[in-house]
Amino acid sequence: MNLSALLAAAFSTATTADGTTSSSPALITNDAVIFGILMVMLAVVFRTSQSSQPTIKRFYKFVPMLLMCYFLPSLLTLGKIVDPSQSALYSVASRYLLPASLILLTLSVDLREIVRLGPKALVMFLTGTCGVILGGPLAILMVRPFAPELVGGDGPDAVWRGMTTVAGSWIGGGANQVAMREIYQPSDALFSVMVTIDILVAEFWMIFLLLGIGKATTIDRMFGADSSSIDRLEQKMTAFASRVTRIPTTTDIIVILAIAFGGTAISHALADTIAPWVKEHAPSLQKMSFDSQFFWLIILATSIGLALSMTRARNYEGAGASKIGTVLIYVLVATIGMQMDLSAIVTYRGLFLVGLIWMAIHVGLMFLVGYFIRAPYFFLAVGSKANIGGAASAPVVAAAFHPSLAPVGVLLAVLGYVLGTYGAWLSALLMQEVAPG
């Protein structure tokens, strides 16, 4: 399929800027019903993952539970049962549940122990950033000789313009993606296609990352990596949780929810003030996404969680603060899964290939540097997802190693939001230079 045919297909099927496609009305449009279905799906996954039946245990040995939490909701979109573009669930989950979960996940963090993890976590994160910056132009160079129409185009339909939005998303997140869209202004049809490629390729890599968690010890041994600092943090956080653990009362749960959503309210109130002020009085800071309300929402929520971790509020970890935070973030995971339209793999297979090459470059660089500096697989996985996925994915992957490690993913993801637009802008310059005219 050439570029013009691809965009014609996008115009006829893609109706929104979030990459969803629908040629017929969805079967279910009531968000209350959809939310109930998602919660039942999560319950089925969690319940079956604890099953003692040999067949089910064998299934979850090869298919991570988290992957199923993404995959099952995607079937609702694939089967045209729901239309995510007509649902407010993702917006609610990302704007309200995500900041609340970040507060609860960082409530018991020990910053001194995280600092003691050493520089390898930061090195792997920055390696992931470089992999995205360089991967885009290298993918264009690799595809250009045999399929120039896939990476060509003129004006708003120039594919490199759409790829800049993917770079913004893969280094930082949605706010950075929107920033690149405003700067390079790809057509609506092209942007719709690119968002689909963004989500599918990112989640495709997520599959392999999650599969690797079960082989983390083997990978660390191959790398000659020393994971003692991670084990020490895990043990210390587990010991703290055990020391303060108690049977939660109704009052405990109400206080935990007050901390989470009260902090979210404060974050929204401040973000609604700071972002417009920056846009009006300090436009030069827009390149770092400082004019984004969502950027400040994530920064402020994380900061509130870190501040509370230095007070007696961190003892609410013993009443299940991080467990409630994990529940909230899994609801977000389900809504993200619903955004995936797996049929796009076939519909946009040419650009999907470009995205896979781009991701392969990122992954290859991560493994190369990880092997060279003997970084534990945990740093590779979390460093990658702190770029490609941000605050919505990095803490989930970190928690898949152990719940106490989720704050490491949160902090690295925040750094991604800061660097996202700068890194994507640099990648855009390189892509524009090598793209066929």
pLDDT tens-place string over residues 108-159: 776 676 677 778 888 998 999 999 999 999 999 999 888 888 888 788 888 8
Q: How confident is the model at residue 236 (pLDDT cuts 50, 70, 90)?
A: confident
Asked whether residue 394 is domain-assigned, the answer is: yes
Query: What SS3 class is residue 290?
Result: coil
178: pLDDT strictly greater than 50: yes
Asked whether residue 242 is domain-assigned, the answer is: yes
* Phi then psi dihedrals of residue 246, to 5 deg: -150, 165
Query: What SS3 class is residue 21?
Result: strand
> Do 31 and 87 form a contact (C-beta atoms < 8 A)?
yes
Per-residue model confidence (pLDDT) at position 393: 74
Number of domains in the chain: 1
198: pLDDT strictly greater than 70: yes
Tokens 């405003």 locate to 182
Per-residue model confidence (pLDDT) at position 4: 44
* Mean pLDDT, rounded, for 218-245: 80
| Higher local confidence (pLDDT), 14 or 42 | 42
Closest CA to 409 of 203, 128, 217, 164: 128
Asked whether residue 72 is domain-assigned, the answer is: no
Q: Is the dihedral of CA 224, 226, 227, 228 positive or negative?
A: positive
Buried b / exposed e along 59-70 (16+ C-beta atoms within 10 A): ebeeebbbbbbb
| Higher local confidence (pLDDT), 207 or 288 | 207
418: pLDDT strictly greater than 70: no
Please tell me the distance from the alpha carbon of residue 18 to that of residue 16, in angstroms, as a whole number: 6
DSSP conformation class of 249: P
Please tell me the distance from the alpha carbon of residue 183 to that of residue 179, in angstroms, as a whole number: 6
Asked whether residue 81 is domain-assigned, the answer is: no
Per-residue model confidence (pLDDT) at position 259: 96
> Do 109 and 309 form a contact (C-beta atoms < 8 A)?
yes
2: pLDDT strictly greater than 50: no
Query: What SS3 class is residue 270?
Result: helix
Please tell me the distance from the alpha carbon of residue 156 to that of residue 269, in angstroms, as a whole number: 36
Asked whether residue 83 is domain-assigned, the answer is: no
Please tell me the distance from the alpha carbon of residue 123 to that of residue 402, in angstroms, as a whole number: 21
Closest CA to 389 of 181, 231, 141, 206: 206
179: pLDDT strictly greater than 70: no
Per-residue model confidence (pLDDT) at position 254: 96
Q: How confident is the model at residue 10 (pLDDT cuts 50, 70, 90)?
A: very low
8: pLDDT strictly greater than 50: no
95: pLDDT strictly greater than 90: no
Asked whether residue 30 is domain-assigned, the answer is: no
19: pLDDT strictly greater than 60: no
Start-end of H helices in 309-348: 321-339, 344-347
Length reported for the chain: 437
| Higher local confidence (pLDDT), 206 or 375 | 375
* Amino acid making up residue 77: T
Closest CA to 374 of 128, 130, 117, 120: 120
User: What's the pTM?
Assistant: 0.70
Range of the domain at 260: 3-20+91-434
Per-residue model confidence (pLDDT) at position 265: 96
* Mean pLDDT, rounded, for 26-41: 94
| Opening angle at CA 311, ends 325 and 300, nearest 5 | 55
Per-residue model confidence (pLDDT) at position 362: 95
Question: Please, what is the angle between helix 250-281 and helix 321-339, to 10°?
Answer: 60
Residue 204 in tokens: 């495709």
DSSP conformation class of 348: T
DSSP conformation class of 148: G
pLDDT (tens digit, 9 = 90+) per residue, 44-69?
999 998 888 989 988 887 777 777 88
Q: How confident is the model at residue 5 (pLDDT cuts 50, 70, 90)?
A: very low
Residue 134 in tokens: 């360089």
Per-residue model confidence (pLDDT) at position 17: 38
Please tell me the distance from the alpha carbon of residue 434 to that of residue 155, in angstroms, as a whole number: 15
Asked whether residue 53 is domain-assigned, the answer is: no
* Mean pLDDT, rounded, for 283-300: 74
Asked whether residue 66 is domain-assigned, the answer is: no
Average pLDDT, the chain: 82
Per-residue model confidence (pLDDT) at position 1: 40
Please tell me the distance from the alpha carbon of residue 202 to that of residue 100, in angstroms, as a whole number: 24
* Mean pLDDT, rounded, for 404-422: 74
pLDDT (tens digit, 9 = 90+) per residue, 342-397?
776 777 788 888 999 999 999 999 999 999 999 999 889 988 988 887 766 777 78
Query: What does the DSSP assignment read for 187-215?
Result: -HHHHHHHHHHHHHHHHHHHHHHHHHHTT
